[in-house]
Amino acid sequence: MKSIEIVCDNLSKIYSGKVIFKNLSLKLSSGNSVSILGKNGSGKSTLIKILSGIISANKGSITVSENNIPVPGNLCYTKIGLISPYLNLYDELTAYENLKFFCGLKNNSDIGIDEKINFYLNRVKLFDKRNETVKNFSSGMKQKLKLIFAVINEPGILYMDEPGTNLDSEGIDIVYETAEEHKKNGILVVATNDKEDIKLCERSINIEDYK
Amino acid sequence: MLLKNSYLVFKKDLSSELRTRYVINSLLMFVLVTISIIRFAIGDEKADNEILTGLLWIAVFFTSVSGLSRTFVKEEEKETSVALKLSTGSDSVIIGKLLFNSALTFSLNALILFLFVIITDYQIKNLSGFLLVLIFGNLGLVSASTIIAAIISKANSKGTLYPVLSFPVLLPLLITVINATKLASLGAETDKLFGEIQILVSYFIVVTVASLMLFKYVWED
Amino acid sequence: MNKIFTWLVFLIITGVIISGIAMPIPDIPALGDKARVLYFHVPMSWISVLAFFMSMWYSIRYLKTKDLDYDIRSYSCAQLGFLFCILATATGSLWAKFSWGSFWNWDPRQTSIFILLLIYGAYFALRSAIDSEDQRAKLSSVYAIIAAVTVPFFVFIMPRIVESLHPDPIINTQGKINMDSSMLIVFISALTGFTMLYLWMLNLKVRIEKVNYKKLSLND
């Protein structure tokens, strides 16, 4: 089993002259989970974006290593899964086409991809809708599809930004189930204010402490 | 892996475009409107090739600056760029988008040229030379407009900014290509156009290489 | 050191202005006294090109280091370059009016400076359309570099399109500078003086921009 580790060293982010957070250090390895807390607008999403490599920090460094070998910065995305409100899938493509496209980008061969897509679609009970365009999905269904997008390539690190958004209780159960499963071997980071979500993680950090 | 992913990005853009027809429909209308304006402006008079070539390139330039930014702007507006960023490297994104924009530009320009020749009675004496210049001109046009589309997709007031930013960068290409197509339409031999084609090819190479090197800075937020 | 530099700039520029306007110059066919604009027009044009490539250089440095300091420098170079570009256009236009009979006639040199003006304009339009300073720095750097790699094409393109009336063929016949020694001294001191003035202004501009940036950072 691959072991994964992420080390953040003294991260700081300044936006329009405003300090979002500073000197944030964090070290997580396989099996660790952490929740990020903070008021609305405190910068939880910014931190998740920086950790997942979508935006860069003003200061500090992030190192992802697999089996103790550092992953080059431009390949970090291959180890990361993300579910968040600012990540959308393609509206005009069907659920199946979306997943097929993103799996195709991350895998060298097509072998077994269809089985995997069908397995996950069944799991979130979207299999019947697989050939409908995402445009016609309800927001809860979209959220479930995004959950599949985040975990289908078995990333080492899973970031969840407000994972419960728009989901019914059944959907939330699926999220928790997925998160618990991921925690066994991977790293889980949840940005949330939901009390139930916090219980998923072994510890929590409050972003207000780094202002 | 790079080529496969570029092809996948291209295929994704193509199939989503064919499904929504968002760009194609409005661009087809745009081409029709532009060509009709040219028709009504000229009237029944016989315009000579110097003026007609200029009009042709005005149509081509404005069609491309109204359509080629869409592929990047859509990723930002619909917030799908994050999903793409987490799935593939920046190189395959820019190559995929270049392929898509080339397909779009080549098919649109074929249409523009076809309609233009029918409507204005534009005589091309050296057709093979003309097409050769057109092909190399389009390649440069696509690579410059694509990187600028990537830049403006992150800015406000995208629509007005696009022609403003494209024009100075495209000007060396436009001057050369207008001159060369004019010469070809007047019947200059293809080997007389060699100097112009050299400029077009080197423009294409220089801008494409710069785009490939710089795109990663544009793509990361 | 800074003070000495300031005084030196002041002295050279004063000398150039006085001798440029008042000192008699040898008779140059077809130009005559109008050749005096050379002392001002050539340095302006030179600085607008120099500032353009300095701006590109700092853009590359910014993309490599992500240090906003370089972006401030790049932006300051572009602002001063734009100013000198306008001055070069104005002095050139005046010269054109009195030598060729019209302010503007799309001479290759005039077209080139027009394109430079367009690029500067586009660069500022882009900067004002982006809110976050990191994004603004990054995207305008990329644009500056893309624009700069296309500029050298004009060197090859322009001679193919039109013949130039621009007077280096008159002043520089056979690649030699055909100025007498007194003119040459004024000309060279004008070039050095205005380049030093540009560097002095750049230093000032960078400091102002930095203060503005710090003020913004403290305002939260």
- C171-204 per-position pLDDT tens digit: 444 444 556 777 888 888 999 999 999 999 999 9
Amino acid code (one letter) for B21 = R
Question: Which helix (H) or strand (E) covers residue A70, if one does?
Answer: strand A69-70
Tokens (6 digits) for A33: 């989970």
Residue C125 included in any domain = yes
Position B157 scores a pLDDT of 78
pLDDT in tens, A190-203: 988 888 788 888 88
Shortest alpha-carbon distance between residue C33 and chain A (Å): 54
Mean of pLDDT over chain A: 88
Look at C218 and A17 and tell me if their CB atoms are within 8 Å.
yes
Position C132 scores a pLDDT of 84
Q: Which residues of A touch B89 (CB under 8 A)?
A: 74-75, 77
Q: Which residues of C touch A20 (CB under 8 A)?
A: none
pLDDT in tens, C84-116: 999 999 998 988 888 778 888 887 788 888 889
- Say if B7 is an interface residue toward chain A (CB within 8 Å): no
> What CA–CA distance (Å, rounded) separates B211 from B93?
12
Residue C66: helix, strand or coil by DSSP? coil
Position C28 scores a pLDDT of 66
Position A55 scores a pLDDT of 86
The vertex-A20 CA angle with A18 and A24, nearest 5°, equals 135
Residue C213 included in any domain = yes
Residue C68 included in any domain = yes
Asked if A189 and A52 touch (Cβ cutoff 8 Å), the reply is no
pLDDT in tens, C125-166: 999 999 888 889 999 999 999 999 998 888 777 766 666 666
Count CB atoms within 10 A of the CB of residue C5. Answer: 13
Asked if C88 and C41 touch (Cβ cutoff 8 Å), the reply is yes
- Say if B15 is an interface residue toward chain A (CB within 8 Å): yes
Residue C134 included in any domain = yes
Which of A75, A80, A91 is the closest to B78 by Cβ? A91
The Cβ-side half-sphere exposure at C217, using a 13 Å CA radius, reads 11
Q: How confident is the model at residue C29 (pLDDT cuts 50, 70, 90)?
A: low
CA nearest to B19 within chain A: A92
- Which site among A58, A82, A92 would you substitute to test the B interface, given the most B Cβ atoms closer than 10 Å to its Cβ? A92
**Residue C220 reports pLDDT greater than 60:** no
The Cα-based distances of A83 to A151, A152, A205 in angstroms read: 9, 12, 19
Strand partners, A64: A6
Which of A49, A54, A102 is the closest to B87 by Cβ? A102
Quick one: what percent of chain B has pLDDT higher than 70? 100
Q: Does residue B160 or residue C121 have the better pLDDT? A: C121
Count CB atoms within 10 A of the CB of residue A64. Answer: 24
Which of B168, B176, B218 is the closest to C139 by Cβ? B218
Look at C131 and A16 and tell me if their CB atoms are within 8 Å.
yes
Domain ranges of chain A: 4-210
Q: Which residues of chain A have pLDDT under 70?
A: 1
Q: Which residues of B touch A54 (CB under 8 A)?
A: 82, 85-86, 220-221
Residue A17 gets the label, from left (phi > 0), alpha (psi -120 to 50) or beta, of left
Q: Which domain holds residue C129?
A: 35-219
Who contacts A10 (Cβ-Cβ below 8 Å, separation ≥6)?
A23, A24, A25, A59, A60, A61
Residue C10 included in any domain = no
How many domains would you assign to chain C? 1
**Residue C51 reports pLDDT greater than 90:** yes
Position C164 scores a pLDDT of 61
Which of C118, C126, C149 is the closest to B207 by Cβ? C149
User: A4-210: which CATH architecture?
Assistant: 3-Layer(aba) Sandwich (3.40)
Amino acid code (one letter) for A152 = I
